[in-house]
Amino acid sequence: MSDNKSKTSELSRRGFIKVGAAALTAASMPMFFVKDAWAAKDFRNNPGTAGSVKFGFNVPQSGAYADEGADELRAYKLAVEHINGVGDGGMLNTMKPLSLKGNGILGKKVEFVTGDTQTKSDAARASAKRMIEKDGVIMVTGGSSSGVAVAVQGLCQEMGIIFMAGLTHSNDTTGKDKRRYGFRHFFNAYMSGAALGPVLKKEMGTERKAYHLTADYTWGWTQEESIKNTTEGLGWKTTATVKTPVGAGDFSQYITPVLNSGADVLILNHYGKDMINSLTQAVQFGLRDKQVNGKNFEIIVPLFSRLMAQGAGENIKGILGTTNWNWALEDEGSKAFVKSFGAKYGQPPSMAAHTTYVQALLYANACEAAGSFYPPEVIKQLEGFKFDGMGNGPTEYRAEDHQCFKDVLVVRGNDKPTSQFDLLKVEQVVPRSQVEYDAKIFGGELGPYEV
Amino acid sequence: MDAIFLQILNGLDKGGAYALIALGLTLVFGTLGVVNFAHGALFMLGAFCAVTLQKILTISQKVRDESITFFEAYKEQPYLEIWFGDFGTKIIDWSVPISILLAIPIMLLIGLAMERGLIRHFYKRPHADQILVTFGLAIVLQEIIRSFFGANPIPTPAPDIVAGSAQIGVLLGLGESVVYPWWRIIYLLFSGLVIFLVFAFLQFTTFGMVVRAGMHDRETVGLLGIDVEHKFTIVFGIGAVVAGLAGVMYAPILPPDYHMGMDFLVLSFVVVVVGGMGSLGGAVAAGFLLGLLQSFASMNEIKAILPGIDQIIIYLVAVVIILVRPRGLMGRKGVMED
């Protein structure tokens, strides 16, 4: 006992600070294991003890993509209902693993505000800023353009608010412009190229000459590059790559040079209205009835959507492309979502509706799993998150670039639609392994967790 | 050679559309002195006459779609097809040409209502006020169309018989690759016909003579006891009809959407300025000139030397012409110079 006493008396002087530090550390240890332990740490738009939390749906409500925006908004409203425990639950019945309990997020009801991106980067940023600063949203989501996604993502990183991107297909969104606070569920141009490659080889062979018409902005450039790399990898030659202004309307002056260029494939790196117009006009110029180099002339539209197919009408029939998701898929998640959406709105959801619905659910689920709305904790939950039952098979939010990796659909404009919605036929479900790539190839830095 | 021929044809075809829109615009400006920024909206409304008639002709019986089991979906079969079989299908197929008949009275009424209801109150106001009110009107009109028809383009195809392209290369002894869509050839001929009719109307009718006289000297014509204002109201209606017809015929080329008028508005003003404010001949000449230049500037050979020239050529030419000939190609002295 006396030995012990003398030892204690020696330590009390020399080790006072050490003991104090150890005691503090020990006292703080439970913080790492207790839910909401970080709640004490303040962050922008922290809901604190409020009974509700607000999402910001930033979608194009006017301009060329207003129809896509309207469908995104329908999906978001459905997602909010399901998160709050209203309705049949949709994909919450099929999502695995699931932390949400159908009573909001961490017991707080979800509310929302909407903004109009107008499909313009500056308008989208202003709208997101207003939602963050004035409406106090905890998360911003939506959009139907890569230009918008990159702009809003940058803003959200600066303001410490998580951005769950909507419809954006440029490699840059999760490549050179990726951000720690930005997440994309939608697939990208690289994946479209990788998915299309084998199908093109099988259908059109290895000796083709391709002519690209490309929308002159970030998405068009990256898609052209990805598809060109794929087709040249097959042995195809690239006759020309021509940039066209966004919203050109009449593309005839760009199509006439195709006629005697020697090319036997036209690749339209256009989306939305531009794609509808360029495809309609290419068909009017008789390109699909043409024979060049002893082969049938072919048109490819690497990125398709049902809403675009509607606008292109008859001209889309037989044209190959890729899509992120289609309402006719037979998996349980897709069926549950289509059933909920169809019952509420009388029409099946578009791929824009699907990706935005899934994004809202994924964010909510990550908060529930993290036990907090504190963005760095939610980000860590989403990074590397593996899930299933949401319409695309087993999916992973890759931690390195915040890009979702999942199966990609190769589709063809349906020759014999059985209904007004049956415009795209799924030709092939390309497995995730075929469209995967090293995150380093597109560069970029995610940036810090704490901002 | 084939490539150049195709670009000439393309330029003329584009020019036809530009000339037709600019003709109506300059007709209104030359007579009423109004800078009508709603003229593009009239073009769009014309295209939507074709869309509306197509929608009316395809009013359908809804039958439960049994292939969709997740929710209640319906298949649609047009009543015209149910009642008249193949003949009904033919009528639907010909909806665009038929809609010309619908567009003429509708566009005339819209033009008259626009002039009497709104624009005449701005004759004595500065041009800036006229621009603001007509631009506002254009936005209102396009938002009304969006609320009824949505934002996405609506396919409005030409009749099947002219849906393909003509082998004009074979006809003219050029290469087989020289093909051109039938409908665009029809559009070119149609725009030529409308331009001819407008000029003939102004040149060879008493009404036209009065209008031309009024364009030169409104006051003197008024002093002769002629109700110039009444005549000019009708001219506004004619301008609306010309823009509307340009829109109807353009529907198969560019699936109409609510914004298509705005896309053409700036371009048509450039055409009018290059042609000379108030000069009908100038508007037509400038329309074809700019159409041809735009077409040639889009050739890969030209773009290889001057990248991006296709996107600025029209404005570049406008700057040069205004610098060299401030009144435009055929502008008259005293117009817009007060």
Q: Same domain for A109 and A169?
A: yes
Structure tokens at B159: 């009749």
CB < 8 Å to A347, chain B: 73
Q: What is the CATH number of the domain that holds A119?
A: 3.40.50.2300
Whether pLDDT at A3 is above 60 = no
Domain assignment present for residue A106? The answer is yes
Query: pLDDT band for position A162 (50/70/90)?
Result: very high
Across the interface, of B177, B255, B295, the residue whose CB is closest to A259 is: B177
Confidence of residue B178 (pLDDT cuts 50, 70, 90): confident
Q: For residue A433, tell me if it sits in a domain.
A: no
A65 vs B contacts (CB less than 8 Å): 151
Distance (Å) from the alpha carbon of B303 to chain A's nearest alpha carbon: 9
**pTM for this predicted structure:** 0.82
Domain boundary among A323, A339, A357: A323
Task: Please give the sequence-ordered ranges of beta strands (E in DSSP) within A101-224, or none if there are none.
Answer: 109-116, 139-142, 162-165, 182-184, 209-215
Whether A350 contacts A305, CB under 8 Å: yes
Whether A53 and A47 have beta carbons less than 8 Å apart is answered as yes
Q: Considering the domain boundaries, does residue A79 fall inside one?
A: yes
Question: CB under 8 Å to B235, separation ≥6 — which residues?
Answer: B27, B28, B31, B32, B211
- Residue A244 shares a structural domain with residue A350: no
Q: What is the mean pLDDT of chain B?
A: 88
Q: Do both A77 and A158 map to the same domain?
A: yes
Residue A365 has pLDDT above 90, yes or no: yes
pLDDT at A172 over 90: yes
- One domain for residues A395 and A307: no
pLDDT for res B201: 92
Task: Examine the domain organization and report whether A282 and A346 are in the same domain.
Answer: no
Is ipTM over 0.85? no
Q: With contacts defined as CB-CB under 8 Å, which chain A residues touch B310?
A: 245, 253
Q: Are residues A164 and A214 in the same domain?
A: no
Q: Is the dihedral of CA B280, B282, B285, B290 positive or negative?
A: negative
Q: Could you tell me the two tokens for B169?
A: 């290369």
Instruction: Residue A5: count other Cβ atoms within 10 Å of its Cβ.
Output: 9
User: Which of A294, A323, A352 lies at the terminal end of a domain, its last residue?
Assistant: A323
CB-CB neighbors (< 8 A) of A247 in chain B:
263
pLDDT per residue as tens digits for the range A184-243: 999 999 999 999 999 999 999 999 999 999 998 888 999 999 999 999 999 999 999 999
CB contact (8 A) between residue B255 and residue A276 = yes
Query: What is the helix (H) or strand (E) element at residue A425, kind and residue range?
Result: strand A424-430
Contacts of B67 in chain A (CB under 8 A): 418-419, 422
Q: Which two tokens stand for residue A181?
A: 């606070």
Tell me: the pLDDT tens digits for B229-260?
A: 888 889 999 999 999 999 999 999 988 989 89
Domain check: are A231 and A172 in the same one? no
The C-alpha of A352 sits at a distance from chain B's nearest C-alpha, in angstroms, of 14
What's the total number of domains in chain A?
2
Band of residue A1 on the pLDDT scale cut at 50, 70, 90: very low
HEC string for A208-232? CEEEEEEECCHHHHHHHHHHHHHHH
Q: For position A24, what pLDDT does the model report?
A: 52
Choose among B127, B327, B112: nearest CA to B236: B112
Q: A203 and A178: one domain?
A: no
Chain B touched by A414 (CB under 8 Å)? no
pLDDT in tens, B51-63: 999 999 999 888 8
| Chain A stretch 57-116, residues whose beta carbon is closer than 8 A to a beta carbon of chain B | 62-67
Q: Given this model, what pLDDT does residue A32 score?
A: 46
Judge contact between B19 and B194, C-beta under 8 A: no
Contact B151 A66 (CB under 8 A): yes
Q: What is the pLDDT of residue A346?
A: 87
> CA-to-CA distance for B172 and A25, rounded, in angstroms?
91
Same domain, A72 and A165: yes
Average pLDDT, rounded, for chain A: 89
Question: Which of A256, A310, A315 minimises the CB distance to B6?
Answer: A256
What does the pLDDT read at residue A12? 60
d(CA B308, CA B301): 12
Any domain includes A58: yes
Same-domain pairing of A57 and A179: yes
Summarised one tens digit per residue, pLDDT across range B184-243 is 999 999 999 999 999 999 899 999 998 888 877 878 888 888 888 888 889 999 999 999
In a domain, A85, yes or no: yes
At residue A448, φ and ψ (nearest 5 deg) are -80, 160
Q: Both A176 and A56 in a single domain? A: yes
Q: Which residue from B minimizes the CA distance to A118?
A: B151
Residue B158: burial class (beta carbons within 10 Å; 0-12, 13-18, 19+): buried
> Hey, what are A136's tokens?
């106090």
A259 within domain boundaries: yes
Domain boundary among A323, A353, A370: A323
Domains in chain B, ordered, with CATH? 2-49+94-324 (1.10.3470)
Torsion angle of alpha carbons B268, B274, B276, B278, nearest 10°? 0
Domain-located, residue A20: no
**Domain assignment of residue A377, given as a range:** 52-187+327-406
* pLDDT-derived band at A104, boundaries 50, 70, 90: very high
Nearest CB to A242 within list B6, B180, B300: B300
Mean pLDDT value across residues A410-437 = 90
Same domain, yes or no: A369 and A256: no
**Residue A411 covered by a domain:** no
- What is the predicted pLDDT for the residue at A33? 45
- Token pair recorded at residue A153: 């993502």
